[in-house]
Every structure is written in structure tokens, then in C-alpha cells.
């Protein structure tokens, strides 16, 4: 976990790892999408503009979804909802917002919607692959406790550490998974690492009170995204020109299925019991995934049986 890459000398500005990897992922995705657009005989500048707008709308949508699904965190602190730099984005909310905006943007510019959405679907998976590495470095989107040899330990006072030292009745955990002595707390809050004694520091970094190992779900998600990007690019090369729209449809299906499975290993997302939830008691993301899968199946069926029409 390295939320900061470095500080800019004299300016005291911290360069965040999560944001940096998002930018790297965006640039790589744009480079690939421009090449795909050239191959399709389209002006690559349009896809660059569309991607930039989609990124901005996606960040706003991801933040709004996160705030809505973690309302209790912002209770009494409404201005914190705008502090995006402190972390807290819900990817699927960003995806849905970006797709909705892109459809309006392409319609307004009278551009071939299905062709652009196919290309953007590939770029989305590439960008997501880098973004999830940023999640690992930021310490968010963590997994459940695991004894797998590739499990990871997050540091003292990280989000995963907090979840382990407190009960979580929503997950049927009525006792902490890691019993931390009262001497580590002050006024009900964890003491800053700097205020711990040398013995306490050793205990939480390599001793009996070190954070328990968890699934590196961020890496699972990153590998999955890059793998899906490869599949989607291959489909686009083979069928994309003849059947525009099928790449986006396949992305909705495959990403929905794989994200649904990865959610079973995560330990941070809230559960959903609302009227819109198909899977009562599943996470918010799992229910959104079900809708993505159903939408992808419907769109794929329509695009396969329809004649080429962009």
C-alpha cells in the first residue's frame, strides 16, 4: 500500500498513486483507441474527445454512487462528499454514467454510436486494469481474510485494518476479527502510528497485531480487466466491422459475470435489499452486474440478428 508516489519539492504537493495510475491507464487506452479508429477509417480526434468527456462524467458518477451507498460515512459532513482525493469511487456507477453520457454525445455529434461504443469498451477495460492497481496502492477495494499464499497484508490504520478490528453485523461478524488492546486507542479512535510505542509498532507491523492477510481482489480485478480487454480486442478485429455493437454487448456480459464473482471475495461493499435489487442481500455491485448481464444479452441478440447499421 503506497497511496503517495512522492511529494513535489518546495510546493508540498503530494502525487497520489491512484490518480497517477488512472491517468496512465487513460493515456494507454486513448492510444489504443486512436489506433482502432484509424483502422476503422474514423477521425481519431473524436474518440479522444469522447474518452475525455466519459472520464470526467465517469468520475462524477462513481463518486455520486459511492456517496449514496455510504451515506452513513458522510452523515454530518456533507462537504466531505466532494473530497474525491480522499478516495471513494464506485466503478460501476462511473461506467453507467459514462455510457449514458456517451450515447447522448455521439447522438449529438451524429457519430456511429455502436462503432464508438465498441472501441470505448476495449479502452475502458485497459484503463480499468491500471486503475485497479491504483486501488491496491491506495488500500481500497480490499478482499476477505484468506490463507492463500498470494494473500496480502495491509498496514496499520488502513481500511482493511479498520474492518478487522471492528465488528460488522451486516456480514454476520459480531466480534472483531483482530482483537486489538485498548492501549492502541485514544478517545475511541486508533492512535496515529507515530504515537505508538516501539513495542506496539513492532506488534502491528510484524507481530501478533499485524493486519490479517486478505485476498488481493484489486489484482484479481486488474488481471480480469486486461484479460477481457484482450478478448474484446480480438472480437473487434474479427467481427467488429461487420457487426458493430457486439463488442460492447460482450463487455457488459463478461464484465458483469466476472465482477459478480470477484465481489464474493471482497469485504468492503455494502449489501442491497432495496426494491430494485434482483439478488436481495447481494452487494450493490452484484445487483448492478445482473442488470449489465441482462442488458448485454439483449443487445447482443439484437445486434446479431440486425443488419449492419451504425
Cβ 267 vs Cβ 142: under 8 Å: yes
**Would you state the pLDDT for residue 80?**
67
Please name every residue paired with 190 in a beta bridge, in sequence order, or none if there are none.
185
**Would you state the pLDDT for residue 61?**
83
**Would you state the pLDDT for residue 22?**
86
SS percent in the chain: helix, strand, coil, step 5: 65, 5, 30
**Would you state the pLDDT for residue 307?**
57
Please compute the mean of the pLDDT values over residues 278-290 and round it to a whole number. Answer: 93
Q: Which of 29-33, 42-46, 70-74, 246-250 has the lowest mean pLDDT?
A: 70-74
Of these ranges, 63-77, 101-115, 207-221, the one predicted with the greatest mean pLDDT is 207-221
262 pLDDT higher than 50: yes
73 or 57, which is more confident? 57
CB burial readout 128-139, b (16+ within 10 A) else e: bbbbbbbbbbbb
Cβ 41 vs Cβ 147: under 8 Å: no
Of these ranges, 36-50, 83-97, 172-186, the one predicted with the greatest mean pLDDT is 172-186
**Would you state the pLDDT for residue 63?**
80
Q: How far apart, in Å, are the Cα atoms of 64 and each of 94, 134, 153, 278, 302?
A: 9, 20, 30, 22, 31
Helix (H), strand (E) at residue 6? strand 4-8
**Would you state the pLDDT for residue 310?**
46
Please compute the mean of the pLDDT values over residues 281-303 and round it to a whole number. Answer: 93
Please compute the mean of the pLDDT values over residues 192-210 and round it to a whole number. Answer: 96
Please compute the mean of the pLDDT values over residues 267-285 and round it to a whole number. Answer: 90
Amino acid at each position: 500500500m503506497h497511496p503517495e508516489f512522492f511529494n513535489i519539492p518546495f510546493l508540498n504537493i503530494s502525487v497520489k498513486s491512484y490518480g497517477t495510475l488512472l491517468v496512465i491507464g487513460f493515456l494507454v487506452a486513448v492510444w489504443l483507441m486512436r489506433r482502432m479508429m484509424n483502422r476503422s477509417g474514423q477521425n481519431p480526434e473524436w474518440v479522444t474527445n469522447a474518452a475525455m468527456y466519459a472520464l470526467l462524467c465517469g468520475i462524477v458518477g462513481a463518486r455520486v454512487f459511492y456517496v449514496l451507498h455510504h451515506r452513513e460515512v458522510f452523515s454530518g459532513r456533507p462537504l466531505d462528499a466532494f473530497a474525491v482525493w480522499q478516495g471513494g469511487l464506485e466503478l460501476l456507477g462511473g461506467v453507467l454514467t459514462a455510457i449514458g453520457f456517451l450515447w447522448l454525445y455521439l447522438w449529438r455529434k451524429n457519430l456511429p454510436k455502436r462503432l464508438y461504443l465498441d472501441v470505448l469498451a476495449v479502452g475502458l477495460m485497459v484503463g480499468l486494469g491500471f486503475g485497479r492497481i491504483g486501488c491496491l496502492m491506495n488500500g481500497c477495494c480490499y478482499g476477505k481474510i484468506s490463507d492463500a499464499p498470494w494473500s496480502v497484508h495491509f498496514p496499520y490504520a488502513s481500511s482493511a485494518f479498520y474492518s478487522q478490528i471492528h465488528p460488522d453485523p451486516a456480514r454476520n461478524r459480531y466480534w472483531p476479527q483482530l482483537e486489538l488492546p485498548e492501549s492502541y486507542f485514544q478517545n475511541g479512535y486508533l492512535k496515529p502510528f507515530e504515537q505508538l510505542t516501539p513495542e506496539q509498532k513492532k506488534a502491528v507491523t510484524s507481530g501478533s497485531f499485524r493486519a490479517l492477510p486478505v485476498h488481493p481482489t484489486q489484482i484479481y480485478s486488474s488481471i480480469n480487466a486486461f484479460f477481457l480487454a484482450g478478448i474484446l480486442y480480438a472480437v473487434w478485429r474479427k467481427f467488429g466491422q461487420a457487426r458493430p455493437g457486439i463488442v460492447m454487448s460482450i463487455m457488459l456480459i463478461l464484465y458483469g459475470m466476472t465482477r459478480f464473482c470477484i465481489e464474493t471475495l471482497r469485504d468492503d461493499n455494502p449489501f442491497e435489499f432495496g426494491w430494485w435489487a434482483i439478488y436481495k442481500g447481494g452487494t450493490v455491485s452484484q445487483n448492478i452486474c445482473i442488470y449489465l448481464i441482462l442488458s448485454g444479452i439483449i443487445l447482443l441478440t439484437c445486434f446479431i440478428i440486425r443488419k449492419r447499421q451504425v
